[in-house]
Amino acid sequence: MSCRLKDAGLDLEMLLSGASQIVVFGSFAAGLNVPLSDLDVVCIGNGTRLKNRFLDLCWVSDENVCKYEWLGSELAGHVAKYGVWLNGPDDWRGATFTSNAAIERKRRRILSLARTVSRLWERLHPIFRAQYDVTIRRELQRLKMLEAGISIPPTRVLDETWDTEGCSGLLQFRDSIAKLRLYAGQSNAPDILRRAS
């Protein structure tokens, strides 16, 4: 971790001074990292968000960490289940849950992504269209899990599930959302939305 922090111009001691807890999550914490994986870290305390190719570091204040909004969020649920505490007590770990707000937010995000891609399709490079194909498929997988009260696993697990289990379950779930059925069969829609059931 300290190598990744150094690459990003930070050092572990500096982080320790501002954070009461440091938690690694995502692919590194699950031991699923590949050479190009970024390191996901959430710190409890006050600091500056940092995101680059090597590191994605976010902060939750000491005040907010015990609030309903954080404890019910998708990220808190993921960190509580898959996170590795490098420093500080994991005192909120058992208090997370999936809030209706987290589910609603995910639903809104998917609808907004679908609308965006559809509107901008002709102006998007194929590499971005392909990126949206993956993003929307993963977000649908996450929404399905959130609705079932399951903590979201690392992204690589989502991809492996998709590869092994196929798409029929997810297409069925997609069809349960009326506003997404509008995109079925449309050429300017991301793959998972334009596929026939």
Binding of other proteins at residue 33 (CB under 8 A)? no
Smaller CB distance to other proteins: residue 109 or 144? 109
List the interface residues with other proteins, window 41-70 (CB under 8 A): 49-53, 56, 58
Q: Which of 34, 123, 168, 196 binds other proteins (CB under 8 A)?
A: 123
Residues 6+ apart with CB under 8 A from 129: 117, 121, 190
Strands annotated E in the chain: 19-25, 39-45, 50-51, 55-60, 84-87
Phi, psi (rounded to 5 degrees) for 61? -70, 155
Size of the site for other proteins (CB under 8 A): 26
Alpha-carbon gap, residue 126 to 135, rounded angstroms? 14
Q: Which of 1, 12, 75, 171 binds other proteins (CB under 8 A)?
A: 75
Alpha-carbon gap, residue 5 to 8, rounded angstroms? 5
Smaller CB distance to other proteins: residue 133 or 164? 133
List the interface residues with other proteins, window 150-169 (CB under 8 A): none
Q: Which of 120, 175, 176, 186 binds other proteins (CB under 8 A)?
A: 120
Number of helices (H) and strands (E), helices first, in the chain?
11, 5
Binding of other proteins at residue 73 (CB under 8 A)? yes
Smaller CB distance to other proteins: residue 3 or 127? 127
Determine contact, residues 127/111, Cβ cutoff 8 Å.
no
* Stretch of 3-11, 84-92, 102-110, 183-191 lying at the interface with other proteins (CB under 8 A): 102-110
Q: What's 37's DSSP letter?
A: P
Binding of other proteins at residue 141 (CB under 8 A)? no
Smaller CB distance to other proteins: residue 169 or 179? 179
Phi, psi (rounded to 5 degrees) for 10? -120, 165
C-alpha Rg value of the chain to the nearest Å = 18
Which spans of this chain sit near other proteins (rule: CB under 8 A)? Answer: 49-53, 56, 58, 73, 75, 105, 108-109, 112-113, 115-117, 119-120, 123-125, 127-128, 130-131
